[in-house]
Structure 1
Amino acid sequence: MNSPATTALFTPSWHAELELAYGRCGATTRPLLRRHQGPLRVQKHLYAEGPEVCQHIIVHPPGGIAGGDRLAISARVDSGAWAQLTSPGAAKWYRANGPASQALNLQVAAGATLEWLPQESILFSAAQAELRTRIELQGDARLFYWDIVALGRPASGERFQQGHYQAQLDLYRDGCPLWHERQRIQGNDGLLDSPIGLDGQPVFATLLATGEIDGQLLERCRALQHPVRGDLSQLPGLLVARCLAAEALQARAWLIALWQLLRPALLGREALPPRIWNT
């Protein structure tokens, strides 16, 4: 009979990588590189808005992330190109005896645009999720980024009683930091219910968008009628939005509503929600 240590050593896990790159060819953004190892894929590229915006849907075929899994995603957008990346559904982080990780590296050249708009990440109680995101912008590169995290499964009455969520997010322009953030939440942490933490709300979301908007549009964003506790801050060259919510769907609806208001102002194009969000 194998000892527990021996059994743990051979616990199956997925190590997967996805590397993407996009370039401008005439009036069209085209994929230049699509390399994968392990269970990470992108579906066929789509042009729902016309040739300028190339949309890819990132798929993780196992359907969930378990202890020992390691995912690495990188995307590069060259000058003049515009890539929009999303996902077909929620990413599920399962309960585990050891950590699972995701490393995200995004590079956007001068004159390029990247929209990173995944659906939510759901952390089951006792999950051990560790995420690292690094975004590098050059020159006048444009970015629209969001992230939604749901701790536990409120619809099933499951609180995040065990495990941990750990995340780091670094955003740079020409090597200078624009945003630097570290988060760590333990299962049953006092921050889950503290009024200076999550205040009893199991879902939190962050939006980062490069550029600046006028006070009138900022007030329109703040006036959105959604059942979330959210607000926006205009920093030099960077707009930051945060919310707390009772359900992931509420947070996602708020982010989409912000995107629909902000995209024309910051990116010069009407917001057309990807069809995959409706399935």
Structure 2
Amino acid sequence: MFDTAGQSRMQRSHGEAAVAFDGARLTGLRQKGSGKALLPRVRGVPEVVFLNTSGGLTSGDTLSYAVTLEGGARAVTTTQAAERAYRANAGPARVTVHHKVGPGGSLDWLPQETILFEAANLARETVIELAPDASCLLLEAVVLGRAAMGETVETLQFSDHRTILRAGKPVFFEPFALNSNILARGPRAAILGPARAFATLVLCAPGAEDAVAAARAALAEAGVEGAASGFDGKCVVRLLARDGWPLRRQILKLMDALRRGAAPPRVWQL
């Protein structure tokens, strides 16, 4: 009974959660495995809080989140806590995010940060499909290890593809890769420099380029380097920080600026 010559396959975590709205009416809710969707009672724009009950991701795990908005629906979507990618010795964990926003709709996709631990292997793809007059705010934030615990990340495989489509045509496409070979080059300015936390926010809406001034004015958090640019219905903000805590504070300031003072999701409040 102790013969390990033919080692058994480790049990893996698989989760799916999907939510749909038509106007202010909830029309769909699907939950499977470790993927859950919580709908907190809030006034005004509905909130959807996604949750991975497995507690983290490693080799072979899969996770899928989806939101569909029709009938001019608006929604704010986030995650209950930071997603964690742990040591992976047998291939990547895979995360898929696929949101659809119909005519007149608006979606804020504001997940909390992803923490990548030593030897993590994570492949993630995010796609947001917009109708011609729909809008979205996309956030992705990543932290390499926990600075307060003295952790450093030297071995890593991370692939992160983000795409926003308007009427079926790409208006924002960003393939991002970070791996052990890149980290081994040291703190080069062309990579991350000394930063170990970074984020991208993309506002995609008619006239979004006009939000650049407000975004730049909000870049005031000590310990965070940031820049904002706008063009062709987009406002894009990039952030770098040595630790996740100042990055989080800066993101909240940008949420306030780009969402015109709307309160952040409850799980984001400091």
TM-score by length of 2: 0.91
1:240 matched to which residue of 2? Answer: 236
Contact kept? 1:162, 1:187, Cα under 8 Å: yes
Q: Distance in 1 between matches of 2:189 and 2:227?
A: 16
CA drift of 1:232 comes to: 0.4
CA drift of 1:66 comes to: 1.8
Moved more, 129-138 or 146-155: 146-155
Contact kept? 1:115, 1:145, Cα under 8 Å: yes
Match of 1:203 among 197, 202, 211: 197
Does 2:76 align with 1:84?
Answer: yes
Match of 1:44 among 39, 42, 45: 39
SS of the residue 2:65 aligns to: strand
From the superposition, tell whether residues 214 and 124 of structure 1 become closer, same or farther in structure 2 (CA, over 3 Å): closer
Does 2:114 align with 1:115?
Answer: no
Amino acid at match of 2:217: R
Does 2:174 align with 1:181?
Answer: yes
Amino acid at match of 2:126: T
CA drift of 1:215 comes to: 6.2
Contact kept? 1:30, 1:54, Cα under 8 Å: no
Q: Distance in 2 between matches of 1:64 and 1:164?
A: 16
CA drift of 1:44 comes to: 3.1
SS of the residue 1:18 aligns to: strand
Contact kept? 2:49, 2:79, Cα under 8 Å: yes
SS of the residue 1:103 aligns to: strand
2:16 matched to which residue of 1? Answer: 17
1:57 matched to which residue of 2? Answer: 49
From the superposition, tell whether residues 215 and 262 of structure 1 become closer, same or farther in structure 2 (CA, over 3 Å): closer
Percent sequence identity over matched residues? 30
Amino acid at match of 2:209: E
TM-score by length of 1: 0.88
Contact kept? 2:76, 2:107, Cα under 8 Å: yes
Amino acid at match of 1:77: L
From the superposition, tell whether residues 164 and 216 of structure 1 become closer, same or farther in structure 2 (CA, over 3 Å): closer
Q: Residue by residue, what CA displacement relative to the aligned partner does 1:202-247 show, whole Å, maximum 9, x if unpaired?
A: 111000102221664354234x243201110102101100111111
Q: Distance in 2 between matches of 1:215 and 1:258?
A: 11
Q: Distance in 2 between matches of 1:256 and 1:278?
A: 8
The number of equivalent residue pairs is: 263
Q: What stretches of structure 1 move > 6 A for 4+ residues in a row?
A: none
1:101 matched to which residue of 2? Answer: 94
2:30 matched to which residue of 1? Answer: 35
Q: Residue by residue, what CA displacement relative to the aligned partner does 1:164-205 show, whole Å, maximum 9, x if unpaired?
A: 111111111011111111111112624551111100211110
Does 2:170 align with 1:170?
Answer: no
SS of the residue 1:252 aligns to: helix
Q: Distance in 2 between matches of 1:197 and 1:31?
A: 43
Match of 1:263 among 259, 262, 270: 259
1:220 matched to which residue of 2? Answer: 217
Does 2:265 align with 1:274?
Answer: yes
Amino acid at match of 1:220: A
Question: Could you say what the CA RMSD is over the residues aligned between the two structures, in angstroms?
Answer: 1.8
Q: Distance in 2 between matches of 1:94 and 1:131?
A: 14
Q: Distance in 2 between matches of 1:19 and 1:132?
A: 16
Q: Distance in 2 between matches of 1:233 and 1:112?
A: 24
SS of the residue 1:212 aligns to: helix
